[in-house]
Amino acid sequence: MPAGQGHSVPRAGAHTFVALVVGELPCRGRRGAARIEETIMKELSCREMGVECPFRAEGETGEEVKAKMLKHAAAAHVGQLLGMSGEQRAALLKTLDEKIAAL
């Protein structure tokens, strides 16, 4: 049997695809178009903070992102933090707050 023949795969419409991915059927908006409500995640990386590290904190709120960044920094970058003066740590926290506010 030639490739592609004899196997019938039903074509799924957008609603079926969304239901498979999201777990439920989407709302139907005007003109019958499917709408998916999307939560926009806020994110910040160590690289954006000037540190060569692949870590990226994500969260629904800036405070959640900040908490994850601080927890990660305390665990993964403790040596760098201990080597900073109080002024440098204050400047780092100020930069973190500015970046969080801009999310």
Question: Residue 75: in which H helix or E strand, if any?
Answer: helix 62-76
Residue 90 has pLDDT above 60, yes or no: yes
pLDDT per position as a tens digit, 63-86:
999 999 999 999 999 999 999 999
pLDDT per position as a tens digit, 34-70:
555 566 889 999 999 999 999 999 999 999 999 999 9
**Domain map of the chain by residue range?**
42-101
Residue 17 has pLDDT above 60, yes or no: no
Residue 19 has pLDDT above 90, yes or no: no
pLDDT (0 to 100) of residue 1: 46
Q: Check residue 3 and give left, alpha or beta (phi > 0: left; psi -120 to 50: alpha).
A: beta
